[in-house]
A and B are shown apart, each in its own frame.
Chain A
Amino acid sequence: EPEVTQTPSHQVTQMGQEVILRCVPISNHLYFYWYRQILGQKVEFLVSFYNNEISEKSEIFDDQFSVERPDGSNFTLKIRSTKLEDSAMYFCASSNGTAIVTDTQYFGPGTRLTVL
């Protein structure tokens, strides 16, 4: 069964450094998402992406964040200058767009980002 994959599984970085989290969505999906989950907290929406542009973003997704689909398969989240509070699990998700409102969003296994 197709699945969303994410790399790396765990990323440790120093405060102020740039990180890029990578995702490979399910191949025929058209909508892509990033979510984060701070340890012990609920999952929070960051951004959705369709047709090579951001379709929606939350208040969390400020100028430090950017997303890109550099080729036909990868979907990346970049954090320009990491802060301690960026430490969280970051989940990528994708959906196929056939029934947009009730589309199932398939989540990847997550990347645990630790900012020191």
Chain B
Amino acid sequence: KNQVEQSPQSLIILEGKNCTLQCNYTVSPFSNLRWYKQDTGRGPVSLTIMTFSENTKSNGRYTATLDADTKQSSLHITASQLSDSASYICVVSPSRAGSYQLTFGKGTKLSVIP
């Protein structure tokens, strides 16, 4: 069964600090991996999308990395801000003709405190 596992489940960091969130997936064959940010009670917002041939993708203070061989991805957040407090979700799209279905992880709940 296709799985997306994330760690840690939750994380508390001080404002201004960096952090790294992890994602392991078993989706195969694999097309692309996405990171989404979800504020409480809101819909997910796309941060990055990487195909299997990409190793890294940046979006402002967010940098995602991908190792398709080990089926691991990370999301690095630099100089965290209070507004970064949210759930960060790793999402994988399988490589299957005609399928646009996304498989979501449970997310890492990040709390940035002053």
Contact = CB atoms under 8 A, between A and B. Distances in A.
* Pair from one complex: yes
A88 to B, nearest CB: 13
Interface residues of B, number: 23
A114 to B, nearest CB: 14
A58 interface: yes
B65 to A, nearest CB: 17
Contacts of A33: 100
Interface in B34-84: 41-46, 49, 51
Interface residue tally on A, bucketed by range: 20 to 34
A110 B107 CA distance: 17
Given A41-B106, A101-B31, A102-B49, A56 B98 contact: yes
A19 interface: no
A6 to B, nearest CB: 8
A82 B104 CA distance: 25
A35 B99 CA distance: 15
B43 A91 contact: yes
B102 interface: yes
A95 interface: yes
B22 interface: no
Interface string A101-116: 1111111111000000
Given A42-B107, A48-B100, A102 B44 contact: no
Nearest to A100: B100
A20 interface: no
A55 interface: yes
Contacts of B103: 45
Contacts of B49: 102, 104
A44 interface: yes
B102 A45 contact: yes
Contacts of B102: 35, 43, 45, 105
Interface of B: 31-32, 41-46, 49, 51, 89, 93, 95, 98-107
Interface of A: 4, 31, 33, 35, 41-45, 48, 55-56, 58, 89, 91, 93, 95, 100-110
